[in-house]
Structure 1
Amino acid sequence: MQAWSNSESVELTCLKKWQETADTVSVELGSRHEDMVFDFKPGQFITLGINMPEKLDYRAYSISSLAGQPRLKLTVKRVNQGLMSNYIVDHLDEGDQVSALKPAGAFNCIDCPPTATKKVTLISAGCGITPVMAMAQHWLENEKDVDIDFIHTANNRLETIYFHELKELDRQHSNFNFKLLLNDSKGTDYPQGYLDKSWLERLAPGIVSSTVYLCGPVGFMEDIESYLKEMNFDMSQFFQESFTPSEKDSNNAVEGSQGDVVKIMVPSFGVEVEAESDSTLIDALEKGGVPVIAACRSGICGSCKCKVTKGSITSSSTETLTPEEIEQGFVLACSSKVSGDVEIALS
């Protein structure tokens, strides 16, 4: 049966956990009795809830497994000050319970299908490999006429997530071409370098006639996008995803003097909390104990949507909001800063 509804989370068990690289683990989640199957669009993420030592916390992680299976595969990398990611790497054990909200995300190969040429180029770095891995597996399983160039860049072979799986897919499928570019290729047959325009053209001949799917660190993605534009690529066939806020977004200050104290009020929860001007709305709501979910914390997943009923807020992302919601005052708390007193409603 299908694992989730439109409104409820599901309780899942960590059925398997293993080390992918020195700082990365993969986990398989499912029902203890494996009586669920998981339907999602390849490339999407789930919002995972874990009872941390302090409180129940949520983060978004891309799914890397095939849809329609009784287990979900997630891969999580240790990150600097990554509260939940580091907890999963260090402490989540087989048999532990977690919760998951339904899959979400516009970056997927169903809503963004390849063109009639059926040629795709998947480009990733680091943990950005997870959503494009799901896409590749989907096409190889269900659309065998899709020709796939899979380009990944990593520091070295030992830090390459899914290395052996990708090698096997390359061996098994004539329409799957795995291209690995390493910062340090010592002791391997793989090329060494930074994925610039020249390397992109060498590793993906005919890329200008393909559909490109990209995921990785923001700076990396901005560079790839600029190379494609230089190549006169049809940007309507370009799709990307990232859970890392760009530097220009995170440094976007609103008007007001930093250090001034403002009030954030949530009447439905009887909460009134003080915060510094220019602080992020989600931080103030969490400080006040308001049960708002902040999964991606970069304005992509939409889990922290709330409504400003009084006052005003400056937002750096409206990614998942409709024009009607924006007009009604809805914002994403993780991507909004307060410069004056505001009143917030969660519905």
Structure 2
Amino acid sequence: MINEWQNNQPTTLRCIDKWQETSDTFSFKLASTQSDPTLTFDFKPGQFVSLGFELAGKMEYRAYSISSAPAEHYLQLTVKRVDGGLVSNHMIDHFNVGDNVSVLAPTGPFNAVDCAPKSKVALLSAGCGITPVMSMAKTWLKAQADIDITFIHMAKSSAQTIYFDELETLHSLYPNFHLRLLLKDNAGTEHPQGRLDQEWLRALCPDLSERTVYLCGPTQFMQDMEQNALALGVDPSQFHQESFTPIEAHTENSGGDAVQFEVPAFGVATQVEQGATLADVLEENGVPIIIACRSGMCGSCKCKVTKGEVSRTSTETLTEEELAQGYTLACSSQIQSDVEVSLT
């Protein structure tokens, strides 16, 4: 197994393959820069990695779910072009086979290990939300696990369905893999046409309430599908979804008062507005901290508040001991008083 990551520091991986999935998505395979082809990656299916590129003189990190299965010699990611997507668009336009990239260790609580499955599961996705659940499905199939998989995916058309050919192949090869693809335009396919709502969900998976459900997709889609799944009788303890969305700044205690902000190790001493997000303040003052997912999920921006108080909207990757010692996630912490911060 590859043990590339030491003390949660980024490692360098190399792009060994790149191809176009749909009109606005590309897939990439990343492998170790070492030459040993027997080295493989260990992670929990469903997790993500954060990639860092130096753009305009600044290291920019963004998080992408892994779509390959563990124990492969590569990590596969699929990236969608988005308006204003600094890193995503850079990867699609300029990141090619042979290029290197800085990568943080796989992480994320939405995975098939910590969220263990029943003997029957439903994987529910739309758009690029297909990537983590694809990793789960491939892992179970590869391990020949006795798990019945209903794979429900919503897309615009067959041409806009990520992994379309691979999904149909899995459906034909594995009797325990049931593809339920719903398309807004099903021209040229035998898949049904419609928009995924509660009735479609019931029709595509009549025994949904008997399954462990894993959900990933756009925010509104996930909100709707959570409501629909629970209404159809899914046990809340058997319902898991990716929480991979930026956290809104929490400012209800902010009156705009100025507070003192200090990072002694980097000579920073300045006044900031009470309620400001700690990550923003660190970046604005040139403190070299990695801020990857910006959703309080990956833990890359962990730092220590040695004096003063912050409010937190996520403590996802922190232990009780770390919280007691003053550690916090900068992307989901708001400054509430004079504070002093350390990166160690």
TM-score (norm 1): 0.91
1:337 equivalent to 2:334? Answer yes
Number of the residue aligned with 1:94: 97
Summarize the alignment of residues 130-209 of structure 1 with structure 2, pairs less than 5 Å apart. Answer: 130-209=131-210
* SS of match in other structure, 1:334: helix
Number of the residue aligned with 1:2: 2
Tell me which of 293, 296, 301 is aligned to 1:296: 293
Give the AA of the match of 2:265: S
Provide closer, same or farther for how the CA distance between residues 50 and 210 of structure 1 changes in structure 2, counting only shifts above 3 A.
same
Summarize the alignment of residues 1-347 of structure 1 with structure 2, pairs less than 5 Å apart. Answer: 1-7=1-7, 8-32=9-33, 33-35=35-37, 36-115=39-118, 118-245=119-246, 249-250=247-248, 252-258=250-256, 260-347=257-344
Does the 8 Å CA contact 1:17/1:27 hold for their aligned counterparts?
yes
C-alpha separation between the residues in 2 aligned to 1:178 and 1:241? 21
C-alpha separation between the residues in 2 aligned to 1:16 and 1:280? 38
Of residues 317-326 and 208-217 in structure 1, the stretch that sits farther from structure 2 once superposed is 317-326
Q: List per-residue Cα deviations over 1:309-347 (Å, max 9, x = no partner).
A: 222222222222223333333221111223443221223
Q: List per-residue Cα deviations over 1:137-167 (Å, max 9, x = no partner).
A: 0011103421100011122222211111111
* SS of match in other structure, 2:95: coil
Does the 8 Å CA contact 2:249/2:332 hold for their aligned counterparts?
no
C-alpha separation between the residues in 1 aligned to 2:301 and 2:320? 17
Give the AA of the match of 1:25: F
Provide closer, same or farther for how the CA distance between residues 195 and 275 of structure 1 changes in structure 2, counting only shifts above 3 A.
farther
Structure 1 segments unaligned to the other structure (5+ residues): none
Provide closer, same or farther for how the CA distance between residues 194 and 110 of structure 1 changes in structure 2, counting only shifts above 3 A.
same
Provide closer, same or farther for how the CA distance between residues 274 and 84 of structure 1 changes in structure 2, counting only shifts above 3 A.
farther
Give the AA of the match of 1:42: P
Does the 8 Å CA contact 2:251/2:276 hold for their aligned counterparts?
no
Give the AA of the match of 1:2: I
C-alpha separation between the residues in 2 aligned to 1:302 and 1:267? 22
Query: RMSD value over aligned CA atoms?
Result: 2.0
Does the 8 Å CA contact 1:51/1:98 hold for their aligned counterparts?
no
Provide closer, same or farther for how the CA distance between residues 251 and 293 of structure 1 changes in structure 2, counting only shifts above 3 A.
closer
Percent of matched pairs sharing the same residue: 52
Provide closer, same or farther for how the CA distance between residues 257 and 60 of structure 1 changes in structure 2, counting only shifts above 3 A.
same
Give the AA of the match of 2:316: E
Does the 8 Å CA contact 2:249/2:334 hold for their aligned counterparts?
no
Q: Could you tell me how far 1:131 is from its partner in structure 2?
A: 0.7
Provide closer, same or farther for how the CA distance between residues 231 and 93 of structure 1 changes in structure 2, counting only shifts above 3 A.
same
Does the 8 Å CA contact 1:34/1:71 hold for their aligned counterparts?
no
Q: Could you tell me how far 1:225 is from its partner in structure 2?
A: 1.5
* SS of match in other structure, 1:109: coil
Give the AA of the match of 1:59: R
* SS of match in other structure, 2:98: coil
* SS of match in other structure, 2:159: helix
Give the AA of the match of 1:123: L
Does the 8 Å CA contact 1:15/1:29 hold for their aligned counterparts?
yes
* SS of match in other structure, 2:279: helix
Give the AA of the match of 2:143: N
C-alpha separation between the residues in 2 aligned to 1:23 and 1:79? 8
Does the 8 Å CA contact 1:272/1:288 hold for their aligned counterparts?
no
Number of residue pairs aligned between Structure 1 and Structure 2: 341
* SS of match in other structure, 1:232: coil
Give the AA of the match of 2:300: S
